[in-house]
Amino acid sequence: LDFAKVPFQKMPAGTVLQILSNNSGTNGSELSTTSGSYASGGSECTITITPKKANSEIYVTANFNADSAQSNSKVMYTLYRSIDGGAYTNVVPSNTNGYDSLIRIHDLGSRVLVNQTIDWVDTTHNTTNSISYRIYFKNQTSGQTARIRNDITACIMVAQEMAQ
pTM summary value? 0.87
Question: What value does the mean pLDDT take over residues 99-116?
Answer: 76
Instruction: Tell me the average pLDDT across 1-26.
Output: 77
Is the CB of residue 62 less than 8 Å from the CB of residue 79?
yes
The letter for the amino acid at 145 is: T
For residue 118, give the nearest of 64, 38, 57, 41 by alpha carbon. Answer: 64
Please count the CA atoms within 13 angstroms of the CA of 11 that sit on its side-chain side: 17
> Which of 3-7, 10-14, 145-149, 160-164 shows the lowest per-residue confidence on average (mean pLDDT)?
3-7
Which pLDDT does position 84 carry in this prediction? 97
**Burial class (CB within 10 angstroms; exposed 0-12, middle 13-18, buried 19+) of 35:** middle
Question: Model confidence over 69-89: pLDDT tens digits?
Answer: 766 778 889 999 999 999 999
